[in-house]
Amino acid sequence: MQSHKTSLIWQMLGKRISHAQLREIAKADYDQSVEQHYRALCNILDRRQLPPMLEWEPREVLSLCRWRKYDDDEEACLTVFFCSFSLIAAAESALSSEMLDGQVDNLIIAVDTARQLGGSWLAELDRYLVDLLPHISLETHDEDYLYFYLVAYLMAHLLGLAPQEYTSRLEQVIKAEKALLSHGAQRLPLKDILAYTCFDMRHELWRNYLKQCGDDLERRRVEEFGPYSA
């Protein structure tokens, strides 16, 4: 199994993202600290991995650029994928995670852009996230812990993985939700599984993808949690 640190995705990005695109990303913070952002972005792309700590340069411009429109624009799609994926990859570092606003948006944006890019992008993103999951802790990532497992379940459906793997990932979502409920201030299951976070700016995108999975998740949540879930 490939290490998440040396994921093929970094190699794919290195071949497709241009330094001109990095320059545009570096300008995203109203042209503030452009050269510092640009050098940091080049360092990531050239080394094919993140530094141990994702500093303000380039964290801020990555966070800003993930909101760009990308439908029917392959270059924009690659840029947004690079930004969201880089922020997801920062989740391995507890220090970096504390500086991020939440991963729920990054996760679904990465899935949507990878799907639009086609080819092996979605499958490689899935491999990366599955390898990353053991490094995601409830203590460090709070509600993001649940959404890493939720997106893994979602991708099992999108990729048409074997029924056994699909069911396993479904059960991991239930286990992650139970762990979240025992860990935080929220003790009762919420009807909307996306309601555990206040950072969900792409709620409709999440909702549209989850609808594609059918009713399996909600049926299983009702079995586990009773009338408090949908």
What is the pLDDT, as a whole number, of residue 185?
67
Q: How far apart are CA 117 and CA 111, in angstroms?
A: 10
What is the pLDDT, as a whole number, of residue 127?
96
On whether the CB atoms of residues 172 and 153 are closer than 8 A, the answer is yes
Q: What ranges do the domains of the chain cover?
A: 4-228
What are the φ and ψ backbone dihedral angles of 222, each rounded to 5 degrees? -65, -40
What is the pLDDT, as a whole number, of residue 3?
46
For residue range 132-188, list pLDDT tens digits in order: 999 898 888 888 999 999 999 999 999 999 999 999 999 999 999 999 999 876 788
Rounded to 5°, the CA angle 147-96-67 comes to: 60
Helix, strand, or coil (residue 7): coil
Which residues fall within 8 angstroms of residue 101, CB to CB, at 6 or more apart? 63, 199
On whether the CB atoms of residues 61 and 28 are closer than 8 A, the answer is yes
Q: How far apart are CA 76 and CA 83, in angstroms?
A: 11
Q: How far apart are CA 78 and CA 176, in angstroms?
A: 31
Q: What is the DSSP letter of 201?
A: S
CA nearest to 76, candidates 113, 102, 41, 43:
113
For residue range 27-58, list pLDDT tens digits in order: 999 999 999 999 999 999 999 989 989 999 99
What is the pLDDT, as a whole number, of residue 73?
96
Q: How far apart are CA 110 and CA 199, in angstroms?
A: 16
On whether the CB atoms of residues 105 and 200 are closer than 8 A, the answer is yes
Question: In the predicted model, is pLDDT for residue 1 greater than 60?
Answer: no
Which residues fall within 8 angstroms of residue 58, CB to CB, at 6 or more apart? 25, 26, 37, 38, 40, 41, 44
The pTM for the full model equals 0.94
Burial of 47 (0-12, 13-18, 19+ CB in 10 A): exposed
